[in-house]
Amino acid sequence: MVTAADAELATLVVRYAPQRGGPAEIEDRFFIGRPGDVAAVYGVGRWLRILRAGRVHVPGDPYEVCRDTDRALALLRRCIGASVQLVLARRLERTITLWTDSGVERIGAVIDFVEGTDSLLIRRRGGGALMYVPRDSLIRFESALLERLEVISVELPPRC
């Protein structure tokens, strides 16, 4: 069930409350800006499915409506209370928090790390060079694994 909707620039943020099991709340973000952009086409499609579930009519071209984020958000907020069926995927993200002489830094999207005698080497998602943290400036570090649910798709609930 849709419980809340907000906007951050050209991204709509929707919160759902599962009707059975799972976490207390699931958050979904989708981009609706820049017409013609693949992410925007995907986001406008998701927005339209939520409006359809809430039985909200879109006046005119949906891409034109989504150019005005406030207008798109107003229509989306009319869907609060609507039932939708979510397709979810479990995502795990490893992070490392570093305490160094210069302060505390949290590094996300970590694939792997290796602790050596003179340094800490960190491999991050997206490729690129290994991140090198010299041991002499490192006070301590801590790794964590965060689990979250990612909304893959929003569908209309099945009719009984």
Compute the half-sphere exposure of residue 5: CA atoms within 13 Å on the CB side of its CA. Answer: 23
Domain with CATH 2.30.30 in the chain: 91-148
Predicted local confidence at residue 78, as pLDDT = 95
Whole-number Å distance between alpha carbons of 143 and 99:
12
Whole-number Å distance between alpha carbons of 59 and 108:
41
Residue 22 scores a pLDDT above 80: no
pLDDT higher for 126 or 108?
Answer: 108
Please state which CATH number belongs to domain 91-148.
2.30.30
Predicted local confidence at residue 14, as pLDDT = 95
Predicted local confidence at residue 127, as pLDDT = 77
Are 10 and 34 a contacting pair, CB within 8 Å? yes
Residue with tokens 């792997």: 112
How large is the average pLDDT for residues 48-56? 92
Beta bridge partners of 11: 8, 31
pLDDT higher for 36 or 81?
Answer: 81
